Amino acid sequence: MAIRWGICSAGKISHDFTVALRTLPSEDHQVVAVAARDLKNAQEFAEKHGILRAYASYEELAKDSEIDVVYIGTIHPYHLKAGLLFMNCGKPVLIEKPLAMNAKEVKELVAAAKKNNVFMMEALWTRFFPVSAALRRSLAQDEVGEVMMVRADLGAPLSHIPRMAERDLGGGALLDIGVYCLQFVLMVYNGERPESIQATGYKLDTGVDGHAVVVLKFSRNRMAVCTCSMTMMLTNDAVIVGSKGMIKVPDHMWCPINLDVNGKVSQHPLPEPPMPLNFTHSAGLRYEAQEVRECLLKGLKESPVMSLSDSTLLAELLDEARKQVGVTYNQDK
């Protein structure tokens, strides 16, 4: 049975997500409608992707009875309003990362999902790549022993992009890039809340963080260090040090296709997309879509791979890191 998708927002990430869906069987996934704040944009998106219906408002999309789930690809500050709109209309949602601007908004979304008894998941695509699944299996099988240290780095010169640099647009390295590093750490430590978190960094003239380093201490003296930057290119890799060995994600840690477990490298290539994409390895968005379909068919209201409690803890850690760096948004008031 095909899951019928509605696409909220006709931007670059929505394009890539829609293209990624086309790498999956059409009998499993179909895009039936798209909505944008401007009808022309929605119509152009629909024509490009062969979508039957284009709407000039998110409200129209929410009322479409032939949609099973909505992908929300708006920029961060609009996630809360859009998520509430669709869930209050009984629509399951897949909301782009970060789930919301802060933990308060995340908790409001979680409450709405539970009140309306609908599925909700944060679209942290990294969790669903085959490399991440293989990594979790290696940890579960004790291939490197007890994890003692995790390091995750992600950065590139992106401060020229308004969405990244402007405070009112939800910019900042932590919220847009650091979320990948912190979620990686939480995945490795099975969603355990750290005993302490220390963050430092510097802000751009716009008031958002351009670079941040976050140190987390977990029980039994287990540590993690995350570095995120939108002012410089970093190694963009991740390392897990265990008592018996080491796991490396050697490149593209936010969308990985290679894994090194104790020196043994495995490759997990992506399918060829049918259209050009905007972002690196975006065909991998297919894996989060597969997770949504499986959850909906099973009647689940959240994903066991990226649970609502995972998203809540991640938001709380981002809040604390931002607070220590000195970054605030209007939504924090």
Q: What is the 3-state secondary structure (H, E, C) of 3-53?
A: EEEEEECCCHHHHHHHHHHCCCCCCCEEEEEEECCCHHHHHHHHHHHCCCE
Write down the pLDDT at residue 296. Answer: 98
The answer to whether the beta carbons of residues 322 and 178 sit under 8 Å apart is: no
**CA gap 62, 91 in Å, rounded:** 7
Over the stretch 286-333, which tens digit does the pLDDT of each residue have?
A: 999 999 999 999 999 999 999 999 999 999 999 999 999 999 999 998
Is 296 within a domain? no
Same-domain pairing of 89 and 187? no
- In what helix (H) or strand (E) does residue 290 lie, and over which residues does it extend? helix 286-298
Write down the pLDDT at residue 116. Answer: 98
Domain boundary among the residues 80, 101, 125 is at 125
Over the stretch 110-126, which tens digit does the pLDDT of each residue have?
A: 999 999 999 999 999 99
Print the domain residue range for 328: 126-268+302-332
Same-domain pairing of 34 and 23? yes
Q: What is the pTM of this model?
A: 0.97
**Per the structure, how many domains does the chain have?**
2
Instruction: Indicate the average pLDDT of the chain.
Output: 98
Over the stretch 75-114, which tens digit does the pLDDT of each residue have?
A: 999 999 999 999 999 999 999 999 999 999 999 999 999 9
Is the pLDDT reported for residue 184 higher than 90? yes
Helices 39-49, 12-21: inter-axial angle, 10-degree rounding: 30
Is 196 within a domain? yes
CATH code where residue 226 lies: 3.30.360.10
280 torsion bin: left (phi>0), alpha (psi -120 to 50), beta (else): beta
Write down the pLDDT at residue 35. Answer: 98
- What pLDDT band is residue 144 in, cutting at 50, 70 and 90? very high
- What pLDDT band is residue 1 in, cutting at 50, 70 and 90? confident
Is the pLDDT reported for residue 192 higher than 90? yes
Same-domain pairing of 323 and 241? yes
Write down the pLDDT at residue 92. Answer: 98
Is 317 within a domain? yes
- The number of C-alpha atoms within 13 Å of 319 and in the hemisphere containing its C-beta is 18
Same-domain pairing of 175 and 250? yes
Domain boundary among the residues 125, 156, 184 is at 125
Over the stretch 261-294, which tens digit does the pLDDT of each residue have?
A: 999 999 999 999 999 999 999 999 999 999 999 9
